[in-house]
Amino acid sequence: MKYKVTFLILIISFSFNFLTGCWNYREINDFRIVTGVAIDYDKTNKEYILTVEVIKTIADENEEKMTGETFVSNGATIFDAIRNTITESGKRLYWSNATVVIVSEEIAKRGIVPVLDMISRDPEMRSELLLLISKEDTAREILTSKSIAPQRVVSYSLETTLENEESSSNFHRVAAWMFIKDLYSEVNSPTCPGVKLGIYDETQTIEGTTVFKGDKLVGWLDKNETKYFLWITNKLKGGVYNLDISHKENLNIKELNLEIFHNKTKQKLKLKDENIVIYLDINTSGNIGEFSGNIDISDPDEKSKIENIIEKQIQRDIELLIKKLQLGYQSDILGFRSIVKKEIPDMWKSEIKENWEKYYSELEVNVTVDFKIRGSSNSSKPIIIRD
Amino acid sequence: MKKLKVFLLVLLLTLNLLISSSCWNYKEIEDIAIVAGIAVDYEEDTDSIIVTSEILYPSASGAEIKVLSRMITDKGENFFDAIRNTVSKSGMKLFWGHAKVIILSESLVKNKDELITIVDWFNRDPEPRHDIFLMISQDKSPSEILTSDIEAENITSFYIEDALLNESSVSKYRAITLWEFVTDLAEPGISPTLPTIKTIEESNRLSDEISGCGIFKDGVLVGYLNGIEARNHLMIINKLKGGLITEREIINNEPIMISLEIFDNKTKITPKYVDDKIVMSIDVSITVNIAEIGGEINFIDEKYRNILIKNTEKEIKNQLNGLITKVQQQYKSDIFGFGKLISEKKPKLWNQLKDNWPENFQDLNTEINVQVKVRGSAIRSKPITVGG
Amino acid sequence: MNKEIISNKSAISLIVLFIFGSSLILPTATDAGSDLWISILLAIVFTIPIFLIYSRILSLYPNKDLFDILIIVFGKWIGKFLCLLFSWFAFHLGVLVLRNFGSFIITVSFPETPMIVPMIFLGLLGVWVVKEGIEVLGRWSWIFFIFNAPAPTLVTLLLIPKMDFNNILPLFYNGSKAILKGTFSAFSFPFGEVVILTMIFFCLSNRKSSYKVFLSGLFIGGIPLAGISLVEILVLGPDLYKASYFPNHSVATKIGLGDFLQRLEILVLIAAVTGGFVKISVCLMACSNGIAKVFNLKDYRSVIFPMGLLMINFSYLIYDNVMEQIAWADEIWPYYAFLFQAILPIIVFIIAEIRKSSKIKSGRNSDE
């Protein structure tokens, strides 16, 4: 009988020892907590240059501030470079709090698959890392640039900006795993935002969207084109839209700013004699942010006149972007293949998939925009200048 | 009677307390300078030893007490002289109980006498620990190594120690403690190696990097091995516990880099004596994971996996052959412990060979067999392929 | 052998956890691509008649398990031979599940730990609980079931922002052949494996229990399984799903709600390990029971410990690497298992029915 008790105690203590992963136990002090990583490629040595930003806590007076510090290492592959950081930093890297991965434009142009495999495959890495392409010469300078107080860690301030995508819509945040999912996909082409350094103050700005064909970077959308991209793909949730209408319609408005509140884009497809026609039905509502001119919004006629102007402008901008993507980059980041596969799967499987380039360059897009002004902030009447 | 008994008891206890808690030898913590690590340099022209010590001191800021370090440099005719000179400089005697690393300059390890005196001091003196790490600095002045600008780590010696303790994750160097070095020096069938460290500068910041090792022969440095060679050395002496192998495959004229994460290595060496020639038969078995595929070819499926395995085995075999040949001919120093193995497995043979071992080492042949076993490919069963 | 009875709810939890056991870590029905959830639902439908057959066999001979029934129906020699075969099947399944879990645990959490360590502990704990008897196992599985039940719903709700419905559209894109292949695959893993439970259900409370238990278990286990697979496809997309060894784990890491609710994959891991533990224990109990019946041992308890140790050993030895594990599971298992999951039970069912009706006839004759 008493053997049972000893046996029980033995098993419980063994279980504590082994089932809790004790064989693999790691003290947190034995690690460097990584917040972000930047990847560059050195052509002469044929090596990857990895820059990791880690947290160092500084106890200062009564406060404990978190600041970031960078370590650089080289390696024949990303895995090699990650392990080689130990030769310099002493401790192993801990990835669970990492937020961003920045890849240099050069690597993206050559083909981004080699640097992404590790992120997807290794269980210690988080594939939820947010992907950014550096618009500067290297990805490293982004992580080593100054960070804005109170966030002293560059990666965390980049993450905060990316989380606030909806307020500006100058970029669209993409997690590494979603990028990889789109790489695999036969109907989507991946995109991700770009980051650059300001000219005057060395801080980071996230702006623009990459256009990938396969896994190679072929072009960029600037911040305005990003908005049209988000419009078309029904991902627009906010932001400020600038209209340049001074030469239009003989109106006394020179500039108009819109704050977008809500958007819904419906995509439909119809076949017209072997040609694909995509119908985009856009419903947007927003506020007038600021304008200069002589129009009175509270007057319903004037209001619908403005709405018309806005609708036409949006339509034109969107059509321009689509053309640019069709003929210039020949890359379908707008997800048109997805609509084709959904609506005419048999034709997609048999003909269109193989000859997508031809179909894409020839497809027509029919855009209808319905814009509603919800309000004009605080004042409905313009500022009057009378001399 | 009882009172006397109690009195004697109390007297005994007090005496005990005084003596067994080493009261006679007590040291106040403020009177000693706790050494975290030292760098030793040998100046040939003046025949003097320069010692730079990294001393720990607590610094209170607000409610926090941090441990910081500062450097003291001293010169002397020999090592003992140099460190005694620090008392006059720092006012405190050095305490070696927490010292973690000893960094020796290249000039020092090329001079047998100086090296031996220093190693002997550390071995003999009771204060320093025998598991203190030894390293060779490839810089002109090793004292720079102890001053690094890394802010995440206050005390350079401690993070150098961390890197050495994490040897198994990188396996591009082999951490050697004092006692291992002394044992290998004394043992006839094996020569020691020491890892090398150098300062690097990046983004205006000084830090250190450990990679590769230095080869000793007869107690003197004769050459260096780089990181990959150091890994292969670990493999041959059956001390490889982790790290990685990078392999470059060319499929359809496209080069793809593959990382194989090493989980286990078993190397069995059998000495054979055939036709008057010594042949070391080396059987290497490595268990790996496919940790990274730098392209779209599926090296996880059988077809390409077998190609990958065969090529890796061939590559490792070539590297091992190359390493052994290089060490035999260029450095002529048995860092692999072949002699020691022969003395263990074929003692009669060893008796014939041991007097001339360095020459016999140069002449021996090797038969290397490498077997690579792929355990898995982490959490993905396919590479990233571009679909559309 | 003691007279043990387990309540219906324990039996149902056993079946549910058995179904969930390894399906929570491995992919199911990958041949169907984005339609695999449809395959699973179809597999549930096709499994209904098979489960009715199991239930019928058990209800024809109450308080007897499959081994007793085989011996009664086929006679001593053929019956015992078939018992041995089924015991082997249970043993083999236990080995495979143990191996799956060992490789899952070390791949995802503890890479430097040797695989044998978690397997030893799962195995030894399984031995202990089986020695305690089926009532204890039943009650534990009920507790596990209660504890794990909210997990699928929670996971689904938290993943809604990351879902993309285009991942499953258009429906039936890969064609009906792919869906049927997936259905066959989903039947053999996990639904058909429930045949193992017939080998230990000598303890159901009454004759009608077996129907209730098997069918409820099928629905309570199968439908959430289809649901979770659907969620996995919606989030990961069919390509990333196929490229993952452990899609459920990959999806669980994506759960996040703001800054604080992260790393909830631990809930999924707990559900997986408890399910796997129940599955391994059931397999162990089934094969020990079978061996005891074949060799006329008084009590199956004496064989449990050696069977357990053998199971741990086998699971370590059968594969060299993960790729072989997957290759076996994809290519060979469905056909090999079909023999035990469908063909043999159907034969048993037919012969048992014939015997029953002939007994009734001869019973009537002898009455007259």
Of A18, A23, A181, the CB nearest to C240: A181
Which value, in Å, is the radius of gyration of the alpha carbons in chain A? 26
What's the pLDDT at A97?
Answer: 87
- Closest Cα partner for A365 from A328, A329, A340? A340
Is the pLDDT at C1 greater than 50, yes or no?
no
Coil, strand or helix at A32:
strand
Does A289 score more than 80 pLDDT?
no
Of A104-108, B240-244, C161-165, the least confident: C161-165
B-chain residues within 8 Å CB-CB of A118? Answer: 259, 291-292
Judge whether C177 is closer than 8 Å to chain A, CB to CB: no
Do the interacting molecules here have an ipTM over 0.85?
A: yes
| pLDDT at residue A183 is higher than 80 | yes
pLDDT of residue B341: 92
pLDDT given for residue C368 in this prediction? 42
Query: What are the tens digits of pLDDT across the range C289-330?
Result: 999 999 988 888 889 999 999 999 999 999 988 999 989 998
**Ranges A321-335, B16-30, B172-186: which has the least confidence:** B16-30
Kindly report, residue by residue over C187-242, the tens digit of the pLDDT: 998 999 999 998 888 877 777 778 889 999 999 999 999 999 999 999 998 999 99
CA pair distance B85, B95, nearest whole angstrom = 14
Checking if the pLDDT of B6 tops 70, the result is: yes
Q: For the range B233-236, what are the long-range contacts, defined as Cβ-Cβ under 8 Å and sequence gap of 24 or more? A: B233/B174, B233/B193, B233/B323, B233/B335, B233/B336, B234/B171, B234/B174, B235/B265, B235/B267, B235/B284, B235/B286, B235/B316, B235/B320, B236/B267, B236/B269, B236/B282, B236/B284, B236/B320, B236/B323, B236/B324, B236/B336
Kindly tell me if the per-residue pLDDT of A148 is higher than 80. no
Average pLDDT over residues A297-306: 77
Find, in chain B, the residue whose alpha carbon is nearest to that of C319: B375
Q: CB-based burial of residue B234 (10 Å sphere; 0-12 exposed, 13-18 middle, 19+ buried)?
A: buried
pLDDT tens-digit readout, C234-252: 999 899 999 999 999 999 8
CA distance linking residue B81 with residue B86, whole number of Å: 9
Q: What is the pLDDT of residue A221?
A: 93
Residue B42: pLDDT above 70? yes
Which pLDDT score, from 0 to 100, does residue B276 have?
A: 82
The answer to whether the Cβ–Cβ distance between C173 and A345 falls below 8 Å is yes
Interchain CB distance below 8 Å, C245 and B379: yes
Closest CA of chain A from C255, distance in Å: 10
**Confidence tier at B188 by pLDDT (50, 70, 90):** confident
Spans of all domains in chain A? 26-221, 222-387
CA distance C294 to C282: 18
Highest mean pLDDT, choosing among A253-267, C159-173, C229-243? C229-243
Please state, rounded to an integer, the average pLDDT across all residues of chain C.
88
Residue B263 — pLDDT band, cuts 50, 70, 90?
very high
B73 touches chain A (CB under 8 A): no
**Which pLDDT value is given to residue A304?**
83
Taking residues A98-103, report their average pLDDT. Answer: 95
- Residue C8's pLDDT is 86
| Greater pLDDT, C22 or A36 | A36
Pairing of strands B101-105, B64-76: unpaired
Asked if B68 is an interface residue toward chain A (Cβ–Cβ < 8 A), one would say no
> Helix (H, G, I), strand (E, B), or coil: what is residue B51?
strand
pLDDT at residue A246, rounded to an integer:
57
Query: Shortest CB distance from C321 goes to which of B301, B374, B379?
Result: B374
Instruction: List pLDDT tens digits, range B266-323.
Output: 999 999 888 888 899 999 999 999 999 999 999 999 999 999 999 999 999 999 999 9
Average pLDDT over residues B356-384: 92
Q: How far apart are CA A275 and CA A111, in angstroms?
A: 32
For the residues C107-113, what does the mean pLDDT come to? 85
Is the minimum CB–CB distance between A90 and chain C shorter than 8 Å? no
Residue A56 confidence (pLDDT):
79
Spatial distance between the Cα atoms of A234 and A281, rounded to a whole number of angstroms: 10
CB atoms B169 and A86 under 8 Å: yes
pLDDT of C359 higher than 80: no
| Overall average pLDDT of the A297-322 stretch | 84
For C240, the closest of A11, A21, A184 (CB atoms) is A184
Predicted local confidence at residue A23, as pLDDT: 64
Pick the closest to residue B195 from B209, B177, B224, B175 (CA basis). B175
Structure tokens at B261: 């994460």
Q: Does any CB of chain B come closer than 8 Å to the CB of residue C103?
A: yes
Which of the four pLDDT bands, split at 50, 70 and 90, describes residue B77?
A: confident
Instruction: State yes or no: pLDDT of B82 exceeds 80.
Output: yes
User: At residue A364, does pLDDT exceed 60?
Assistant: yes
Domain B226-382 CATH (choose: 3.40.1190.20, 3.20.20.150, 3.30.300.210, 2.30.30.90): 3.30.300.210
Judge whether A56 is closer than 8 Å to chain B, CB to CB. Answer: yes
| C100-110: average pLDDT | 90
Per-residue confidence (pLDDT) for residue B44, from 0 to 100: 84
Rounded Cα distance between B168 and B162, Å, is 11
The beta-carbon neighbor of A345 closest among C170, C240, C253 is C170
* Nearest neighbour of A181 by CB, restricted to C110, C169, C239: C239
Q: From the CB of residue C243, how many other CB atoms can be counted at a distance below 10 Å?
A: 24
pLDDT score of A245 more than 80: no
Of residues A12 and C83, more confidence is placed in C83
In chain B, residues with a C-beta closer than 8 Å to the C-beta of A47 are none
Asked if the Cβ–Cβ distance from C250 to B379 is below 8 Å, we say yes
Three-state secondary structure readout of C196-207: HHHCCCCCECCC
| pLDDT the model gives residue B212 | 93
pLDDT tens digits, one per residue of B119-136: 999 999 889 999 999 999
Residue in chain C closest to A163 (alpha carbons) equals C258
pLDDT at B207 over 80: yes
For residue C101, give the 3-state DSSP assignment.
Answer: helix
Q: How far is CA A88 from CA A55, B152, B162, B246, in A?
A: 16, 12, 10, 20
The sign of the torsion formed by the CA atoms of C250, C251, C257, C258 equals: positive
CA gap A48, A138 in Å, rounded: 12
Residue B369 has pLDDT above 90, yes or no: yes
pLDDT at C254: 87
Hey, what amino acid is at B99?
Answer: A
Level-2 CATH architecture, domain A222-387: 2-Layer Sandwich (3.30)
- Kindly list the residues from chain A whose CB atom is less than 8 angstroms away from the CB atom of residue B256: 114
**Would an 8 Å CB–CB cutoff place A127 in contact with chain C?**
yes
Mean pLDDT of chain B: 89
pLDDT at A378 over 60: no
Instruction: Using the predicted structure, report yes or no on whether residue A61 has a pLDDT greater than 60.
Output: no
Mean pLDDT for A153-178 is 91
B384 in contact with chain A, both atoms CB, cutoff 8 A: yes
Measure CB to CB from residue A61 to each of B62, B210, B296 and give the nearest one: B62
Contact criterion met (CB below 8 Å) for C209 and C100: no
Which residue would you say has higher pLDDT here, A375 or B185? B185
* C164, C24 Cβ separation under 8 angstroms: no
Instruction: Please give the average per-residue pLDDT across C168-195, as a whole number.
Output: 89
Candidate from C36-45, C147-156, C185-194 with smallest mean pLDDT? C147-156
pTM of the prediction? 0.89
**Chains adjacent to A (≥3 CB pairs closer than 8 angstroms):** B, C
Q: Scanning the structure block, which residue is given the tokens 């949730």?
A: A237
Averaged pLDDT of chain A = 85
Minimum CA–CA partner of B242 in chain C: C112
CA distance A386 to A294: 12
CA–CA separation, B381 and C326 (whole Å):
9
Higher pLDDT, A351 or C282: C282
Average pLDDT of the residues in A42-64: 79
Determine which helix (DSSP H) or strand (DSSP E) holds A98, and give its type and residue range: none
Amino acid at C43: A
pLDDT at C149: 87
Task: Report pLDDT for C268.
Answer: 84
- The two tokens of residue A85 are 């950081």
Interface of C with A in 200-219 (CB under 8 A): none
Q: Which CATH architecture has domain C8-367?
A: Up-down Bundle (1.20)
- What percent of chain C lies above the pLDDT cut of 70? 96
The residues spanned by each domain of chain C are 8-367
Of A134-143, A204-213, B24-33, which range is least confident? Answer: B24-33
